[in-house]
Structures are given as structure tokens and as C-alpha cells.
Amino acid sequence: MALRRSSRIATTIASTTKQAARSAVFTATSPLSSLSPDPDDKPRPTKRKRNNVKADAASGEDDESAPTTQKRTRRRRSPPPEPTPDDFAPRVENRWKIGPHVSSSGGVENSVINAAAVGANAFAIFLKSQRKWESNALKEESVTKFKARMKAFGYSPSHVLPHGSYLVNLGNPDKEKREKSYACFVDDLKRCEELGLQLYNFHPGSTVGAATIEQSMALIAECINRAHKETEYAVIVLENMAGAGNIVGSRFSELGDIIRQVDDKTRVGVCLDTCHMFAAGYDITTKDGWAATMAEFERDVGLSYLRGMHINDSKAPLASKKDRHENIGLGHLGLRTFAHILSDPRTRDMPLILETPAYDAPVGKEKLAWEGMGVWRTEVSVLNRLSGCCSSPLEAEDETPARPAREGEGEIGESEYEGWREEVHEAVKTASKARDAKGRKVDGAGKKARKGKRRKGDEEDAEDEDDDSCGEDH
């Protein structure tokens, strides 16, 4: 009996000893042990520190001798230097102000640089995305830079012809839709004035098959009158159209009828597009044809309302009613047509804007035309040489030299025309290997290249990149 009692006591003591040992192990390994007031109790080092200790031990280095790693600071990229006129070839001095519809991607201020890069004396731009009803407001910094660059590069506000949105239809008889167009239209006019520009070009509109031409013309005039009251000085410039479908404005008489219904006639004008005129049936390919066309314009509208022109060749034949722009000299109009247009003093000192296929586009992170734009650069050069080259009775009355004399001054021979045409053709041929007519990259087979992923920071600029230059078939 005494033996059994002593055995039970021994078993109890052993069990108590095991539990105490387990408790000691748990206390040593438990994360709660870090809360112990024991000064010798240290928290377990982090995984990264343990790994560093192991690496130091493997390399035989002491913790104390190991160099401390400093956080790497990212260096901020300094802004590029401000472009100056000295960065580009000098522009030709010419009374005929020729230039393309350039990109304003990356900020409206970039349009000035893009114009200078191709030797332009005039240019056109979109004031916002022409494919959206609403766009972000112009940045104050962009407006300031635009005005500063206009002055630095010697561009006159009267030689810039902004183009309106393709969405706007002021002739739509549906009031709700017309009001949506009107809001977009007035926003553009206010942007013009914010930039200090004087002209604003737009397509008059369409009956959409739901109204007569007369009704739509009255609606367009009514919108112009309203817009004049909401703005200060911008001149609204109606563009003649090719005549397809229910479009208003293919005949000069229609433009004249709209203008007659406008109250403030000092703030309305017309832009004549050579491709549209030809497509609408005005044969301007000869001197006599051009003279007859201008006589009709004087009768139905008035030459005092001519505020600019779009200088485009045509892929489509006479009276086709198809609006298909072609590069200068490569279409149905040919170089001779532009020779007599650019020898007419009535087309001086106004923006003469190329809307021909561009093929190439501005490059680089700043989206400036330091490279590329070879087609427009060539077309501007050829048109400058053409201007003032043909004799005209009106030219003889004005003794002011219109441009520097060209070598072998006089009537242009067929070989000279062919040489200039070949210059444009070669520029197009070279540029089209890398890009299509809208400036989009293509692969070796001439197919549109796949786009990479757009970065988040580029979303704001993307609004302006959507068919930003006007070198396209409308």
C-alpha cells in the first residue's frame, strides 16, 4: 500500500515537470513574449534582417562593417528647352500665306512649332477634339505659351484658321440636337477669343432630309446671330461644301443667302475649298474657269467676304460631289490650277490652308514636328514657288513685290511643272512606307500597325490626337 502511494507521487511529480517544460518552451517561442518586462528579452528580428545576417555570415562580414543602404531618389527630368525660330529653316517671305492644318497634340501651343517646322506662313488647328461634344478647357499655361510663341515666331492671328467640330449641324430642324451643336459651336468661338484668334471656320450643316434648304439656312443664320451676342469679336467663316446628300453650302448662292440673314456682317465670312468647289461643279482648272468662278462668287456672295481658302487637290472628278482630298499636283486639279489661284492678288494676305493627306506625323515625347511632316514641307515649298508666277491684269496694278523672284522668272514650262509634281510624288512615296494618309503607323505591307497600350498620363492628350491634323478624306 505504501509502495503504491509512493509510485503515484512519483508519477504526479514527473507530469508536473513535463508541463512546466512545455510552458517554458511556449513562453520562449510565443510572439506575446515580446511584451515581457524582462530587459534581456529581445524581439525576433524581421525576415529581411535575418536574411541580411545570413548573407553577411556567408560572406564573412560583420554587421557593424556592412554599409548602410540609402533610399534611391528618382531624378526629375528637366523640361526641354523652349524652341526658337533659329531652330528651323527661315520661312519664305510671301504675300500668299500658305500652310497646313497642323497638330495641336500635347497642347495648343505646339501647333505654332509644328507650323514653323514645315515652313508655313499660316496654319489651321482644331481647338479641341473634333469627334467629341465636350472637351477639357484650355490650360492657362497652354494659352500663355501659345500667345508667346505666336509673337516669337511672327505669326499673325489673322493667318490662323481654326476648324470647327465635324459634329456640329446648325441646320438641323430638331431643336434639341441643334442646341447641342450650338453649345459646341459657341464653346469653340470662346476658345478662339481666349487664344486671341480672329477667325473660326466651320461646315454650315445639313437638312438631314427633314427640312428644306431655305429652312436650314435660316436656322444657321439664327445660330450665328445668337453666337455673335455671346462672343466679342471672332469672325464666323462658312466653308463651301462638295454637295453630297443633304449638305448645305455647295452653291455660292446658298452661302450668300445665309450671310444676308446675319445681322453683324462684319463678323461673317467664307472659306473656299478648292476640292469642294471642283466636286460641286466649279471648273477652276483653267484661268478662264477660275475667273468665271470668282465672278459668280462676287455676284452671289461678295469678294469682301472671302476670308481664307483650303488648298486641296481632288481625287474625284469634276461635279462628282465627292469630298476626296489629294496631295497637291497629284489629283484632277493639277499644279496649273494652283498656279493661277496663287497668282491672283485677291487670295493674298489670308490663310491658305493645306488639308491634304499627311502620311507622316509629329514625333517625340513633346509631340513636336522636329522630324516627319515631309509631305507638307514639300507641298508648302512648291506652292511658295508657284505663287505669283503667272501674269495677271490685277497683279500689274500692284507694284509691291509679292515674294522673292525665282530663278528664270516668267511663264512656267511643262518640265518645271513636272519636276515640282515629282517632288511631291517622291515625298508621298517616301512617307507612305511608314505611315498611312492619316499619319498612322503601318507595317511593311502598308497595313495599319497595332497600337501599344496607352499610358494613363496620355489620356488627356488623346482627346487632341483623334484625327488631329486635317489631312484626311472628309
Q: Which helix (H) or strand (E) holds 202?
A: strand 199-202
User: Sorting pLDDT into bands at 50, 70 and 90, what band is 393?
Assistant: very low
The whole-number pLDDT of residue 402 equals: 55
Higher pLDDT, 143 or 442: 143
Distances (CA, A) of 171 to 127, 178, 202, 276, 277: 22, 7, 12, 19, 21
What nine digits make up the cell of 424?
511631291
Confirm whether pTM is higher than 0.85.
no
Which of the residues are catalytic?
131, 163, 166, 203, 239, 273, 276, 310, 323, 325, 355
Higher pLDDT, 243 or 76: 243
- Answer whether 102's CB lies under 8 Å from 369's CB: yes
Give DSSP secondary structure letters for 302-356: -GGGEEEEE--EESS-TT-----EE-TTSSSSHHHHHHHHTT-GGGTTSEEEE-S
The whole-number pLDDT of residue 71 equals: 64
Query: Of 218, 220, 380, which is closest to residue 311 (Cα–Cα)?
Result: 380
Beta-bridge partners for 352: 98, 309
Instruction: Give 71-97 pLDDT, tens digit per residue.
Output: 666 777 777 789 999 999 999 999 999
**Domain 92-390+416-448+459-465 maps to which CATH number in 2.60.40.10, 3.40.309.10, 1.10.3720.10, 3.20.20.150?**
3.20.20.150
Per mean pLDDT, which range of 108-117, 183-192, 394-403 is the poorest? 394-403
Instruction: Give 16-43 pLDDT, tens digit per residue.
Output: 555 555 554 444 444 444 444 454 555 6
Handedness of CA 87, 119, 158, 397 (dihedral sign): positive
Q: What is the mean pLDDT of the chain?
A: 83
Percent of all residues in the chain with a pLDDT value above 90, rounded to a whole number: 63
Instruction: Give 275-294 pLDDT, tens digit per residue.
Output: 999 999 999 999 999 999 99
